[in-house]
Amino acid sequence: MSGAGPERGRVGDVGERPVGIDELLERVRAGYGRVEPKEAYEAALAGEALLVDIRYAALRERDGLIPGALVVERNELEWRLDPRGSHRAAEATSHDLRIVVICNEGYASSLAAASLHQLGLHRATDLVGGFQAWKAAGLPLLLEAPAQ
C-alpha cells in the first residue's frame, strides 16, 4: 500500500503515527504565539483583540466572567467566529481579527485556537494558563452575571 488511502489527509491529521495529547498541544502551540494575561487584557482594552471565553457554564457561574469577553460555548466556537458563517457573532467581522481564546487552564483553548487557524483566522491565539491565570494576575472579573 502506498499510504495514500482514505485515512490520510483528514482534518486534524498530524502525521504518520498517532500522537498523545501533550505532543499534539506542543505541535499546535508551535504554530502561533500565545499571550499572557496582562498582554491579553491590554490588547482588549485597546480594542486590538477580542477575548473569547469558551468555559462551560458551571465554571463561569463558579468563578465569574471576564468583563467584555464574548462567551461562546466550545461546541459553537467555529460557527460563531467564522466571518463567512451564517451563525456568526456580530464581533466576527474579519479573518484578520485578533482572537484570544480562554478556557479554564489554557489547554482546550490551544486546540480551539488551532481550529480557528484552520478557518483562516490566522491571528487567533489563546491565553497561557487560561481563566485561572487571569484571576491569579488580579485582572478584572465580574462575579455576578451582567443583567440582560
Length of the chain: 148
Could you tell me how far CA 116 lies from the centroid of its own chain? Answer: 8
Q: What are phi and psi of 99, to 5 degrees?
A: -115, 130
What does the pLDDT look like over 6-49, one tens digit per residue? Answer: 443 444 555 578 989 999 999 999 999 999 999 999 999 999 99
Could you tell me how far CA 32 lies from the centroid of its own chain? Answer: 12
**Cross-strand partners of 126:** 101
- pLDDT value of position 11: 45
pLDDT higher than 60, residue 63:
yes
pTM of structure: 0.86
**Collapsed DSSP state (helix, strand, coil) of residue 40:** helix
What does the pLDDT look like over 66-119, one tens digit per residue? Answer: 999 999 999 999 999 999 999 999 999 999 999 999 999 999 999 999 999 999
- The crossing angle, in degrees rounded to 10, of helices 108-118 and 21-29 is 50
